[in-house]
Chain A
Amino acid sequence: MIHFDNVTKVYSHQGRPALQGVNVAVEKGEFVFLVGPSGSGKSTFLRLILKEERPTQGGIHVAGKELNKLTNWKIPHLRRRIGCVFQDFRLLPNKNVNENVAFALEVIGKPRRFIRKVVPEVIDLVGLEGKGHRMPDELSGGEQQRVAIARAFVNRPMILLADEPTGNIDPATSIGIMKVLDRINRTGTTVVMATHDAAIVDAFRKRVVELEDGRVVRDQSRGVYGQAYGGV
């Protein structure tokens, strides 16, 4: 589903590469924690998957497409197969929950009847039954993140990318968010989650890929947050 083949990324304004010779393969339906200190290249990794950045060297395959060969006008089609969730939720403050979720479908031109059918379904899925008409500022952080997840998942993407989704949320609420992500993963969606949250990584025991200074220093199935080089 996601293949990084010896990928190096150098941002022109800084000498040190953000990623250096990264080889990672994530298969369909996997759940992967991406861990590592700030500046280790986690965000670059996610941005490369979305083709928001181009690798300086190496090849990337996402959802069966070779990104280097993907023309600019086909990028939107790639992104329709990938959902994104962020630490800061990125909801539209002037739209209610239903409208925020529907927005993701409206802007890719889905018919209104389809939107009316799937939006309530996905809102139920993330556990926000009956809160469709709330505005984002009337919701707690955890609920806002659920809305963001609903928006990312409403178009049934093959891949869900989450960049520190529990970064702004207290530990108890984080568990709830993780359960939603797990539920989405069980539908067959590949989930890649970058995180600093040791407790969550340790509790969920999924595959862990650890980055340090742009290199993969650990790739462990059923891993823990731990330390580099095998840890624990």
Chain B
Amino acid sequence: MRAQFVLQEIWIGLRRNLTMTIALVVTVAIAMALFGTGVLLKMQVDKSNNYWSDKVEVSVYLCNKLSANPACQKKEPSQSDKDAIKNQLQSMPQVASVAAETQAQAYQRAKDRFKDTPGFSDTIQLGDIPDSFRVKLKDPKQYAAVVAQMQGRQGVDQVINERAILEKFFKILGGLQWAALIIAAIQVVAAVLLVANTIRLSAFNRRRETGIMRLVGASNLYIQLPFVLEGAIAGLIGGIFAAVLLGFSKVFLLGRLTRNLQFATELGWLDVTQVIVFSVCFGVVLCSLASFLTLRRYLKI
């Protein structure tokens, strides 16, 4: 195998087909970037899901004098009522543990959390957040029974299931992920068709050469390798552009997401690098395979 000869043939092929090659590179880049973004979003969802699944709680807020719920009649429940609620929670089979949070603790926690937004933290007053029970569940998915029993119970203002809020967030991410993957799939189809067309043109352009190669007994590998490598190189260049786009997508999409949404756990560069390597390999394999299959049709042995 003479590497120089093969490389020269590839170079001629790519140059003669410059416009098609550019179209191919762009398509592959977009396809792989979207594919990678889809995978990154999926990893983001999984990671956040894992991170949060053992931290989500059901919060049971008790009535106090500010409660809007008419059942509360603007009255705080008595200590015995609170104990009864706590006992009832603890006796539920789904419940792992129950922690009480007093108004004072809740006030302090809110002050801490919003200390970066003074306008907000200054207006919080003791009693804005009522006493509550933080209920940890054995299985976070089994919240329905707990919520049903607590909702409307005497002395309970409202029951907030944090998981329901998280699920909304995950749903949005999941939607983004699927949108990216579907567009990527369409782009992959376009890329395959473009590869087929590029290689067909290339085979047509070089039909003299390949005809002579066939006649003088060049092996199929020798005849086909320049075409397959042509596809592979276009795939690789596309993949490199995709890697750059994925880098952007990590910094701007996921980075912004984690900064603005407290639920998101940041993905590390290691994860992103894995996705990039995988996308590039996928692009190269896809293009090589498409070239090879096209050749079987247009290059008679």
Count B interface residues, CB 8 Å.
18
Check A106 against B219 for contact (C-beta < 8 Å): no
Per-residue A-contact encoding for B215-245, CB less than 8 Å = 1, 0 else: 1111110110000000000000000000000
> Are B301 and A106 within 8 A (Cβ)?
no
Kindly identify, within residues 108 to 150 of chain A, every residue whose CB is under 8 Å from any CB belonging to chain B: 108-109, 112
A72-B301 in contact (CB<8A): yes
Contact B222 A73 (CB under 8 A): no
Question: Which residues from chain B contact A73 at a C-beta distance below 8 Å?
Answer: 219-220
Are A90 and B217 within 8 A (Cβ)? Answer: no
Taking CB atoms, residues of chain A closer than 8 Å to B217 are 75-82, 108, 155
The answer to the question of A207 belonging to the interface, with a C-beta cut-off of 8 Å to chain B, is: no
- In angstroms, Cα B208 to Cα A80, docked, is 18
The complex places the Cα of A77 from the Cα of B220 at a distance, in Å, of 11
Nearest A residue to B1, CB-CB: A109
Q: Is the pair A107, B1 in contact by a Cβ cutoff of 8 Å?
A: no
Query: Would you call B212 and A103 a contact (CB within 8 A)?
Result: yes
Q: Within 8 Å of chain B (Cβ to Cβ): is A50?
A: yes
In the bound complex, CA of A125 to CA of B3 (Å): 30
Q: Given contacts A106-B2, A152-B216, could you give 7 more A-B pairs where the C-beta distance is less than 8 Å? A: A76-B217, A76-B220, A79-B216, A81-B217, A84-B216, A109-B1, A109-B2
Interfacial chain A residues near B1, Cβ < 8 Å = 109
- Known A-B contacts A106-B5, A109-B222; the reply to A90 vs B216 at CB < 8 A is no
- Cα separation A92 to B8 with both chains bound (whole Å): 15
Minimum CB–CB distance from A187 to chain B (whole Å) comes to 18
A79 x B215 contact (CB < 8 A) = yes
User: What class of interface size applies to chain A in its complex with B?
Assistant: 20 to 34
* B167 interfacial by beta-carbon distance below 8 Å: no
Interface majority SS (helix, strand, loop, mixed), chain A: helix
Going nearest first, the 10 A-B pairs with the smallest beta carbon separation are A80-B217, A79-B217, A107-B218, A104-B216, A76-B217, A107-B213, A76-B219, A84-B215, A106-B5, A108-B218
Q: Is B163 an interface residue (CB 8 A)?
A: no
A75 touches B301 (CB 8 A): yes
* Residues in A whose Cβ lies below 8 Å from that of B223: 107
User: How long is the Cα–Cα vector from A107 to B5 in the complex, in angstroms?
Assistant: 8
Contacting residues, chain B, for A90 (C-beta < 8 A): 208, 211-212
A-B contact count (CB 8 A): 57
- Residue A151 lies at the interface, judged by CB distance under 8 Å to chain B: yes
Give the residues in chain B near A72, CB-CB below 8 Å: 301
Digitize A57-68: 1 where CB-to-B-CB distance is under 8 Å, 0 elsewhere.
Answer: 000000000000
Q: Which of B5, B212, B218 contacts A76 (CB 8 A)?
A: B218
B42 interfacial by beta-carbon distance below 8 Å: no
Q: Which residues of B contact A81 (CB under 8 A)?
A: 217
Produce 1/0 per residue, B38-56, CB < 8 A to A. Answer: 0000000000000000000
Name the distance in Å between B218's Cβ and chain A's nearest Cβ.
4
- 22 A-B pairs (CB sep. < 8 Å): A73-B219, A75-B217, A76-B219, A77-B217, A79-B216, A79-B217, A83-B216, A84-B215, A84-B216, A92-B208, A103-B209, A103-B212, A104-B216, A106-B2, A107-B213, A107-B222, A108-B216, A108-B219, A109-B2, A151-B212, A155-B216, A155-B217
Give the chain A neighbours of B86 by CB distance below 8 A. none
B111 interface contact, C-beta 8 A: no
> Which residue of B is nearest A106, CB measured?
B5
CA–CA, A158 and B232, complex, Å? 38
Which residues on A sit within 8 Å (CB–CB) of B215?
50, 79, 84
A78 closest partner in B (C-beta): B217
When the two chains form their complex, are residues A108 and B220 in contact, meaning their CB atoms are under 8 A apart?
A: no
B134 at the interface (CB under 8 A from A): no
The answer to whether residues A151 and B216 also contact, given A72-B301, A92-B209 and a CB cut-off of 8 A, is yes
Q: What's the Cα separation between A191 and B113 when bound, in Å?
A: 94
Is B214 an interface position by the 8 A CB rule? Answer: yes
A84 to B211, CA, bound (A): 11
Please determine whether B216 and A80 come into contact, CB atoms closer than 8 angstroms: yes
Which B residue sits closest to A103, measured CB to CB? B212
**Least CB separation from A83: chain B residue:** B216
B6 to chain A, nearest CB (A): 10
Map CB proximity to A onto B195-217 as digits: 1 under 8 Å, 0 otherwise: 00000000000001101111111
- Chain B's closest residue to A84 (CB) is B215
In the assembled complex, the Cα of A2 lies from the Cα of B36 at a distance in Å of 59
A53 to chain B, nearest CB (A): 11
Residue on A with the closest CB to B210?
A107
Partner pick for A92 among B2, B5, B212, CB 8 A cutoff = B212
Interface flags, A81-106, vs B, CB<8A=1, else 0: 11110000010100000000001101
Cβ-defined contact, B208 with A107, below 8 A? no
Residues of chain B with a CB closer than 8 A to A109's CB: 1-2, 219, 222
Contacts of A50 in B (CB 8 A): 215
If A75-B301, A92-B208, A92-B209 touch, whether A107 touches B216 (CB-CB below 8 Å) is yes
Q: Report how far A83 CA is from B301 CA in the complex, Å.
A: 17
CA distance A206 to B217 in the complex (A): 29
